[in-house]
Amino acid sequence: MERKKYVIIMAAGSGTRMGAGMPKQFLELDGKAILHRTIEVFLEACPGISVVTVLPQDHIGYWREYCLDHNFICPQILVPGGITRFHSVRNALARVPEGALVAVHDGVRPLLTVKFAKEMFDKAEGVDGLIPVTPCTDTIKVLEKNGDVLSAMPGASADRSVLYGAQTPQVFRSEVLKSAYAMAYDTAFTDDASVVEKYGKSLSYVIGERLNIKITTQEDLVLARAVLSVR
Ligand code: C5P
């Protein structure tokens, strides 16, 4: 039997790198909040999906009002975030049952396509976890920083041919992700894949979408507008 689908939308960050007055997930991108666009992709890709949106505690009221004002009426479970992304995911997983297929996606990645979101769920049936990655195209330098000065780290190098950047949505069997997130927090946990790997499960990987960027800076916002203008 097909598993019920959930998506956890991570939007509890404070977004300080953007330098805007409010967290970047609420900034407008062509007339709609970034977070609004992100959630819409999953609703279109998987009708009937359950959406768990993780928000800063002090923005839950703001988001409720935004949805009403913009007639964005979709059932969402609103969950307050935690001190780190790990703690935010853990809060959200308390609202996801075992036996489901759960995607965890950054609220600030609105440019993934509907086709890709659907494919991620389709391909995740039958594996413990599926992670989208993009091959590294830049040459990578391993450097150390002394004040403002960068210099080569003696003996350190990185072979570009084996390096990939991890994206979201990362999709898991919910019982696997819930058990992995019951472990103690570790600063090495930078995404969900790193948590599940430490828990001892092997993961599957697929090539993600180059334009599925995480909107972090003003430049990313300019790029996102350009992408939307040609779609
Ligand atoms: O900080 P970073 O850019 O890695 O955040 C990735 C995603 O995780 C963002 O969508 C952010 O809103 C979310 N996040 C969260 N709770 C935190 C920190 C980040 O939901 N405590």
pLDDT in tens, 42-51: 999 999 999 9
- The string of pLDDT tens digits covering residues 13-24 is 986 666 667 899
- Ligand 1 within 6 A of CB of 79: no
pTM exceeds cut of 0.85? yes
**Cβ(13) – ligand 1 distance below 6 Å:** yes
Q: How far is CA 78 from the centre of its chain?
A: 16
Using alpha carbons, select from 137, 143, 142, 144 the residue that is nearest to residue 160.
Answer: 137
pLDDT of residue 18: 66
Span 184-215, pLDDT tens digits: 999 999 999 999 999 999 999 999 999 999 99
Domain boundaries, the chain: 5-132+167-230
- What pLDDT, on a 0 to 100 scale, did the predictor assign at position 21? 78
Under the banding of pLDDT at 50, 70 and 90, the label for residue 107 is very high
CATH topology for 5-132+167-230?
Spore Coat Polysaccharide Biosynthesis Protein SpsA; Chain A (3.90.550)
Q: What is the pLDDT of residue 20?
A: 66
Tens digit of each residue's pLDDT (9 = 90 or more) over 80-106: 999 999 999 999 999 999 999 999 999
C-alpha distances out from residue 71 to 8, 36, 111, 119, Å = 21, 11, 21, 28
Model pLDDT, residue 19: 64
Q: Relative to the CA of 54, which ligand 1 atom is closest?
A: 20
The closest-lying atom of ligand 1 relative to the alpha carbon of residue 11 is 12
Q: Is the CB of 106 under 6 A from ligand 1?
A: yes
